[in-house]
Structure 1
Amino acid sequence: MSNDRNLVPEVTTDSLQLFFNEARRHPLLTAEEEIELAQRIEKGDLAAKDRMINANLRLVISVARKYQGQGLALGDLIQEGMLGLIRAVEKFDWRKGFKFSTYGTLWIRQAIGRGLANSGRTVRLPVHIVARARKIADAERKLAVELGREPTDAEISERVELPIDEVMDIRRADQTPSSLDQKVGESEETSLGDLIAGSEPGPAEEVGEGMAGEAVQQAVEQLPDAERDVLRLRFGLTGFEPAALRETGKQLGLSTERVRQLEDRALKRLSRDEDLAALRQAA
């Protein structure tokens, strides 16, 4: 993604109007044109990639405007959103039958959400801490599917083979802007950095691996928009990395509790569908 950032010009207040004018200058694409361009992009056609990006600049602006007032200026939101658009263009699979605007919107939201989350952190957490947080989040989702309810800290601790205190501390850190100096534990004498600074990251579990099956994808596509978007992000559907509750909320403009509610409702809907068997197998 760092290389992609070099491709995105800085969007300052002075240049916003020029960017808006440039976005309006490029016509929207038909479904047939999207497929044609996607096929050319697969073959390395850079001109096709540029055209797909330019035709969706208005999509970035539209999504970015919804995140105003959350900590980043509109120009910065657009810059983050452009990174998501570039990734969406690179990863778009026209064979799956999705409209690019649907797919692209999720990538743009994801990129903006990460930008907002990063701007709110005191420091970025080390990679090995993030990896462990992801492992815990993955186990939480899988257990929720298996048990039909939110798992307890003890159940998650047993699944990931980590002490329950560490699981609780990492889950809390993953929900709020964190510093390595943040005090954890009942005594609050130990910092998050002290707790796991010397730990080696375990291998990342593959989340949602079996959920990419066409049957489950179709079942998810039938869900209400909000529930569908939550599941796509939480379980890593349609090419996304699985996201924690807080990150999902940032990307969708929802509270963590609202994300929990929508995820629970979506899973209950799927539990009444025969595709739940595939969902359980994926977990």
Structure 2
Amino acid sequence: MSLSAPCRASGPSEYRKVGAMQDHDSHDSRLLHELLTDVSGPQASELDELEHPPQDELGLRVSFIEEEHPPEEEAHPHEEAKAEKAVPISDPVHAYLRAIGAIPLLKGDEELRIARAMGEPGEAGQRARGRMIEANLRLVVSVAKKYLGRGLSFLDLIQEGNLGLIRAVEKFDYTRGYKFSTYATWWIRQAITRALADKARTIRIPVHLVETINRLRAISQRLTQRLGRKPSDEEIAAEANVPVEKIADIKKIVKDTISLETPIGKEEDSRLGDFIIDREAPGPASAVASLLLQEEIRALLGSLSDRERQVVELRFGIVDGNVHTLEEIGRIFGVTRERVRQIEGKALAKLKHEMSERRMIEYIE
């Protein structure tokens, strides 16, 4: 994904090349508004929790509905440089990380000065916004790596996170007293989780439900820290002021899908689908009987004249599954419908006699 024009204009040449290489038709400014304009922004309590995460004295890893999806911690600048080593990366991602690694980070006073300048009109504000975006691209990488393995590639996660970063720059208000990285982390997560809900799942989760899931995860985290154990569905429901049945429903929704092509066994020579019974499929005995019946039908049709066989095949859809009327068959052969009826009757009489001779009734039963 290429970022905004201000970001590209002020970035190093290598970064601009990487941005152009990663451009996707579906990741443009229009998508940003489709995904994010209906989000009002973080509440003060959410920003406080990001900027000053509660200490878990028991050292518990908090879990909500899916234990494999622990809540993310805020990404700090000094951790961002570790992202490249923490995950397996492809050459395009490696080039991207190398490019953004050359962009200097902002110090506290410099960040505040640029944050103030972002609100200025014209080119000055544009340059400030571009500088703030570029200085926080590593923050996006740090947040994005926490969502690996959920259906989107690392590069796609970074692209979606960059959309959230742009939105954060557009809406940041330095007078509220929060660090930009705190505010941006919230928007980056919003963009990534919405993209995962919209694109990654086989069964799509509506965006509004994703926000409900995230809210319940946060409630579960607070309850775990308060109670010193994993909260029950009833406790989460009471804290969230929702019916307990809704918690159970959401548990079912967030369960990950698994491909029937998933390898099974040490040698991975089998697939999960091989061990799932298709209850609609015929059993071995029925399949063999059906095959024998088809062979007998072909032999029976061979006892008819060419015209009789063609009429029967068309009337009963034996060849292509399409059943034809007497009128349609008459037009095909250039005869009346009554003549077709006579040919059909004669052919069926022959077949009935042949069936009794061959004792085919057992196949039909």
> Does the TM-score normalized on the shorter chain lie above 0.5?
no
TM-score where L is the length of structure 1: 0.43
User: Which structure is higher in helix share?
Assistant: 1
- Mark the structure with the bigger radius of gyration: 2
Structure of higher RCO (CA pairs closer than 8 Å, 6+ residues apart): 1
